[in-house]
Structure 1
Amino acid sequence: MKRELPADFAFAAEIVAIGASAGGVEALLSLFTGLAPPLRAAVVIVLHLPEGQDSRLVDVFALRLRLPVQEASPHAPVQAGHIYFAPPGYHLLVEADRSFSLSCDPPVLFSRPAIDVLFESCAEAIGENLAALLLTGANEDGAEGLARIHAAGGLTAVQDPDEAAHPTMPAAALRLDEPDFVLPLAGLRSLLHTVIR
């Protein structure tokens, strides 16, 4: 587990999966600062939202980024260079054929969409060509899924709990497994920009 990004760090991801909860919008905006096309990887995000409410995430991020931002829809292909958000009220999965599927299965750790569901599906479908980041949050969703990605050979990184607005989520991941990196947002931003360009 590294707490700094090496100067010679290199990793070519096909998909970057990101999970966040409380404080996640601000953390994601920080991660995406300076991001511009072309990108070789897709970014797929689960951000916990209150069920039953419309999501404005696509609007918020599309206004700030020079990249295609959209809600993931069932059977749609995962396209490089796009940023996808899970729709509220559904679990989001990535299939082996690099398409999305949605599930109405019960909430996981009180969350639907759940980060664990996305991460576990990505671990199975993508394996070692996957990078995953777990950010600030107030529950333990994402810890098991991140460990599954690590076991499948993917790259795993956690926001430093000491810096996170809500440290419960990254701290849970560190208790369960040893990710490749534990970094502040500035370090995660450098990592993200490296693996998707």
Structure 2
Amino acid sequence: MKKINLNNSYKAVVIGGSAGSFQGVVKILSQLPKGFPLPIIMALHRLKHVRNGFVEALSIKSVVQVTEPNDKEAIKKGSVYLAPANYHMSVELGNNFALSTEEMVNNSRPAIDITLSSCAFVYKEKLLGILLSGANKDGAIGMKHIHERGGTTIVQEPSECMIDTMPKAALAVTQIDHVLRIDEIVEVLKELDKQYR
């Protein structure tokens, strides 16, 4: 894998994904170094009427327990958060979550764009944004906002995706710093972890 320059001042990692992203997310979470120092904030498209099972399935494989945050919950280092089913999830100044049931965006709630864009606004250049496999364009504008605010952007290699619409949409609208396979994304997070030790 080519050398990727990372700074040691990141405050958060945000991950978006839809159709075909579940296995990639499981692989990332299962190979995280123990004690990974940053919060990982995830917005994944999911069936709105299925409330149970998804978090549990991720937590079984994850090194860190995956939780669905409550509205106004403080964001803690080393935690993994998943947008609850049928809620938009934003990050607010002051480093806490905001949940809402406003209209769907990109036919989705949670909308990846909302989570990514709010993270970009709060964390600016101290954000690492990752967009995985998916069947629509949700997340592309969020990645654009991350880039514009100085954050680092990564999309999953389209040829590896089950459905490549989402990463290709991001590549079409903004500069993406790195196009990587899941195994390479895992290595980036491991390298990032080393810089905080």
Q: TM-score, normalization: structure 2?
A: 0.93
Q: How many residues align?
A: 193
**Which of residues 5, 10, 21 in structure 2 aligns to 1:9?**
5
Classify the secondary structure of the residue corresponding to 2:61.
coil
Letter in 2 for 1:154: G
Deviation, structure 1 residue 25: 1.0
Mean CA deviation greater in 56-65 or 127-136:
56-65
The sequence identity of aligned pairs, in percent, is 33
User: Which structure dedicates a bigger proportion of its chain to helix?
Assistant: 2
1:55–1:87 CA contact under 8 A, matched in 2:
no
Deviation, structure 1 residue 55: 4.0
Q: Which residue of 2 aligns with 1:130?
A: 127
Q: Which residue of 1 aligns with 2:59?
A: 62
Q: Which residue of 1 aligns with 2:113?
A: 116
Q: Which residue of 2 aligns with 1:175?
A: 172
Pairwise CA RMSD of aligned residues?
Answer: 1.4
Question: 2:58 and 2:188 mapped to 1: Cα distance?
Answer: 20
Cα deviation code 1:65-113 (max 9, x no counterpart): 2313211211111111110000011100011111000011111110000
Question: 2:52 and 2:113 mapped to 1: Cα distance?
Answer: 20
Q: Which residue of 2 aligns with 1:193?
A: 190
Is structure 2 residue 161 aligned with structure 1 residue 164? yes
Letter in 1 for 2:79: H
Gaps of 5+ in 2: none
Deviation, structure 1 residue 43: 0.2
Deviation, structure 1 residue 23: 1.0
Q: Tell me: higher relative CO, structure 1 or 2? Use CA pairs within 8 A at least 6 residues apart.
A: 1
Q: TM-score, normalization: structure 1?
A: 0.93
Q: Which residue of 1 aligns with 2:136?
A: 139
Gaps of 5+ in 1: none
Q: Which residue of 2 aligns with 1:52?
A: 49
Classify the secondary structure of the residue corresponding to 2:67.
strand
Letter in 1 for 2:157: D
CA separation of 1:181 and 1:96: change in aligned 2, threshold 3 A: same
**Which of residues 145, 148, 153 in structure 1 aligns to 2:145?**
148
Mean CA deviation greater in 23-32 or 115-124:
23-32
1:68–1:81 CA contact under 8 A, matched in 2:
no
Cα deviation code 1:152-176 (max 9, x no counterpart): 0011000011111110000000111
